[in-house]
Chains A and B, each alone.
Chain A
């Protein structure tokens, strides 16, 4: 549904929110406190961003004991990829992305 897709793109159209997703990608299942510890954002800003990400289904929360853990849910991004990336393009795109990462990694090092 396109209304859901709008939410995903709006959620992704913010550097702070992408940074939160990066933090979860690096280490999934963090509490709000842990997420705030790594970022240059106020706790209120992080809470607000997480709400937008949750509404877009990009982040999901689980209660384990007394903790509320945040998980990156890649499903909406997967659905975007499936919609516009053809089945046979996937392999070629992966090769090109790997090549880019390798060459850029070599330049940086």
Chain B
């Protein structure tokens, strides 16, 4: 394969509006994204970044597409691990589709490069973050291991 891609589909009992807010509002991301904040105006062309609890930037990029409550596409580069940063920009797509009393969330993180280390690294991180996001929206509580920045990293 000429590209690397992580794909994850989860159904969350919530509304597209609440899910969108949870994905884009730092007050929510602090609870399920290892105490990180995500900041942006979330409009096409605007910058976005993930800030770690120590104040350093983890990842950053530009908003490519933003259709509130439906679709968000980001250019994404890691900023704190040199071996990942040098791979350059990847692309992240969130798709939100109503499905009965739930919302189907599809997450695709991809890079036009085989065996990308960045995609390998995020493939380990995404399942925890997304399971915690689901738990937060459905039960009001995120998963404990995602409330702090992991010590070993």
Contacts and interface: CB of A to CB of B under 8 A. Distances in A.
A57 B5 CA distance: 18
B10 interface: yes
A78 B1 contact: no
Contacts of A27: 1
A57 B131 contact: no
A75 B1 contact: no
B27 interface: no
B8 interface: yes
Nearest to B130: A75
A39 interface: no
A74 B127 CA distance: 10
A9 B106 CA distance: 22
Category for how many chain B residues contact A: 10 to 19
The majority secondary structure among interface residues of chain B is strand
Contacts of A60: 7, 9, 106
Interface footprint category on A? 10 to 19
Nearest to A71: B7
B20 interface: no
B97 to A, nearest CB: 12
Interface in A9-47: 27-29
B9 A78 contact: no
A4 B100 CA distance: 12
B136 interface: no
B131 A73 contact: no
A97 B127 CA distance: 21
A93 interface: no
5 cross-chain pairs, A with B, having the tightest CB-CB distances, nearest first? A71-B7, A60-B9, A73-B9, A75-B10, A57-B9
Interface of B: 1, 5, 7-11, 106, 108, 127, 131
14 contacts: A28-B5, A28-B7, A29-B7, A57-B9, A60-B7, A60-B9, A62-B5, A71-B5, A73-B7, A73-B8, A75-B9, A75-B10, A75-B127, A82-B131
